[in-house]
């Protein structure tokens, strides 16, 4: 079914409503007038019938009727649209005042009959020896009623058409703000994400939609800004090692050197390159996450086992740094083992770097799928907490360039993995503990 425009839809609905209203009004009127005619006819017929009965009071046979016929005819001649039929109780026809009268109904009472293009109303009454039926020619009335019905249909049609046209016009006017919204939406592109719909000028019904659209634009704008910043960060992050590589290689080649020096130079370059490769791989992982291409498998996992494996992995490092590693609680989930290990590993790695010697790192699991990784250490400024998950974000800007140790993508990767599992993560800092709290959805 082709889609109908809102204007067209409204116009049709208006037309249908008008048609329904005028049709019922017309039908009601037509019915009422018909009822009115029937009542008039009945009054007339019963009045005339009782006069005629007076003449027939003592008639008991066909032969006896003849004496009364002149009086009857006289009576009937006053009104040309009346006709009379008298039948004996045995069913034989005694008298018809006019030819071509229709067959009257058996039952006494009022009836409407049709014969040879003529319409009659008949009233039938039983006498002691006969049955008399008085016919009234109502062809005129019926014609009038038919014409009126035609008029009703015509009115209904015209009204519907007129409302459809007027409705279309009104809908078009009424929907103008919607078209304006469309025009604004059409003008939005990557460079004009700051455009917003004028919500204050929109009608009440559209204001909510306008706000939703504005909120969407805001989110797009934020995402776009982040992406732009990300691209700029990538360029920046790659620029430093690239420039190191260029300088180092060119300087090495400016004059002949000992074998050992060449080897040193290559090793230096190798480290730089490995770091760059790592960063590119991490960024590709994040790009995949952004495109919703991370598809974690869902296998049953005992988080306690996974955590213990990770703690065992990091144990030598923690021991060297004099840090205590602890795991409390148990939890089961369904998720991607490699990805979740990577997510937790990044958090532990992060915690190990920020926990001072003698400190503690605690992983707390609760069955409500709540994972908390807490470490003792210096407090992080409250406004910096949500930014910890931003790409290339480093708490201490001084540790930034040149130190190829950490690109600042670990926590961003952790978050993208948690999000891909339908969970959420946040950082808190209180009472000398830094906590990363992961909430995973309960799975069946």
Partner 1 sequence: MKLLIVEDQAKTGQYLRQGLSEAGFATELAGDGETGQFLALTGDHDLLILDVMLPGRDGWQILQAVRQAGLDTPVLFLTARDAVEDRVHGLELGADDYLVKPFAFSELLARVRSLLRRGASPSQDTTLALADLRLDLIRRRAERAGSRIDLTAKEFALLELLLRRQGEVLPKSLIASQVWDMNFDSDTNVIEVAIRRLRLKIDDNHANKLIHTVRGMGYVLEERHD
Interacting residue ranges for partner 1, rule: CB under 8 A: 267, 270-271, 274-278, 280-282, 284, 288, 293, 295, 309, 312-314, 316-317, 320, 338, 341-342, 345-346, 349, 352, 405-406
Closer CB to partner 1, residue 84 or residue 413? Answer: 413
Cβ of residue 335: shortest distance to partner 1, in angstroms? 15
Cβ of residue 309: shortest distance to partner 1, in angstroms? 7
Cβ of residue 280: shortest distance to partner 1, in angstroms? 6
DSSP 8-state code for residue 198: -
Closer CB to partner 1, residue 138 or residue 411? Answer: 411
Cβ of residue 373: shortest distance to partner 1, in angstroms? 15
Contact yes or no for 96/112 (Cβ under 8 A): no
Tokens coding 350: 């992060």
Distance CA(234)–CA(286), nearest Å, equals 12
β-strands 324-328, 360-366 pairing: parallel
Indicate the SS3 state at residue 112. strand
Contact yes or no for 56/125 (Cβ under 8 A): no
């929907």: which residue's tokens? Answer: 175
Closer CB to partner 1, residue 278 or residue 442? Answer: 278
Cβ of residue 398: shortest distance to partner 1, in angstroms? 20
Contact yes or no for 86/65 (Cβ under 8 A): yes
Distance CA(177)–CA(6), nearest Å, equals 13
DSSP 8-state code for residue 408: S
Closer CB to partner 1, residue 15 or residue 318? Answer: 318
Closer CB to partner 1, residue 346 or residue 434? Answer: 346
Closer CB to partner 1, residue 171 or residue 301? Answer: 301
Contact yes or no for 8/170 (Cβ under 8 A): no
Tokens coding 89: 């109780």
Cβ of residue 290: shortest distance to partner 1, in angstroms? 14
Distance CA(401)–CA(15), nearest Å, equals 72
Closer CB to partner 1, residue 210 or residue 408? Answer: 408
Tokens coding 164: 């459809």
Tokens coding 353: 């770097």
Cβ of residue 414: shortest distance to partner 1, in angstroms? 12
Residue 90 has phi, psi (to 5 degrees) of -85, 0
């Amino acid at each position: 079914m082709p889609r109908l425009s809102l204007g067209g839809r409204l116009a049709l609905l208006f037309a249908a409503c008008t048609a329904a209203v005028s049709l019922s009004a017309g039908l009601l009127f037509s019915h009422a007038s018909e009822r009115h005619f029937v009542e008039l006819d009945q009054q007339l017929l019963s009045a005339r019938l009782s006069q005629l009965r007076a003449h027939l009071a003592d008639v008991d046979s066909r032969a006896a009727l003849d004496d009364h016929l002149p009086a009857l005819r006289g009576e009937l001649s006053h009104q040309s649209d009346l006709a009379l039929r008298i039948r004996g109780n045995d069913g034989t026809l005694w008298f018809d005042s006019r030819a071509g009268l229709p067959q009257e109904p058996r039952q006494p009472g009022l009836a409407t009959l049709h014969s040879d293009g003529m319409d009659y109303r008949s009233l039938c009454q039983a006498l002691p020896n006969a049955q008399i039926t008085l016919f009234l020619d109502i062809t005129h009335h019926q014609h009038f009623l038919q014409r009126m019905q035609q008029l009703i249909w015509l009115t209904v049609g015209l009204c519907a058409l007129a409302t459809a046209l007027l409705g279309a016009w009104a809908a078009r006017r009424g929907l103008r703000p919607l078209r304006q919204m469309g025009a604004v939406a059409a003008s939005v592109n990557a460079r004009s994400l700051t455009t917003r719909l004028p919500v204050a000028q929109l009608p009440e019904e559209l204001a909510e939609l306008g706000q939703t659209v504005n909120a969407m634009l805001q989110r797009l704008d934020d995402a776009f800004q982040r992406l732009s910043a990300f691209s700029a960060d990538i360029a920046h992050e790659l620029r430093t090692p690239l420039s190191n590589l260029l300088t180092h290689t060119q300087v090495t080649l400016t004059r002949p050197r000992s074998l050992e020096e060449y080897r040193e130079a290559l090793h230096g370059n190798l480290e730089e390159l490995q770091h760059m490769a790592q960063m590119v791989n991490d960024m590709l992982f994040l790009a995949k996450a952004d495109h919703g291409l991370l598809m974690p498998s869902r296998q049953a996992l005992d988080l306690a086992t996974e955590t213990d494996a990770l703690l065992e992995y990091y144990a030598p490092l923690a021991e060297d740094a004099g840090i205590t590693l602890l795991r409390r609680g148990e939890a089961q989930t369904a998720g991607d083992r490699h990805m979740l290990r990577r997510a937790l590993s990044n958090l532990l790695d992060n915690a190990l770097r920020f926990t001072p010697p003698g400190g503690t790192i605690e992983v707390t699991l609760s069955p409500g799928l709540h994972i908390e990784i807490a470490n003792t250490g210096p407090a992080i400024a409250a406004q910096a907490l949500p930014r910890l998950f931003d790409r290339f974000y480093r708490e201490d800007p001084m540790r930034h360039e040149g130190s190829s140790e950490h690109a600042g993508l670990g926590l961003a990767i952790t978050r993208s993995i948690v999000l891909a599992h339908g969970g959420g993560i946040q950082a808190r800092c209180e009472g000398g503990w830094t906590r990363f709290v992961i909430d995973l959805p309960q799975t069946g």
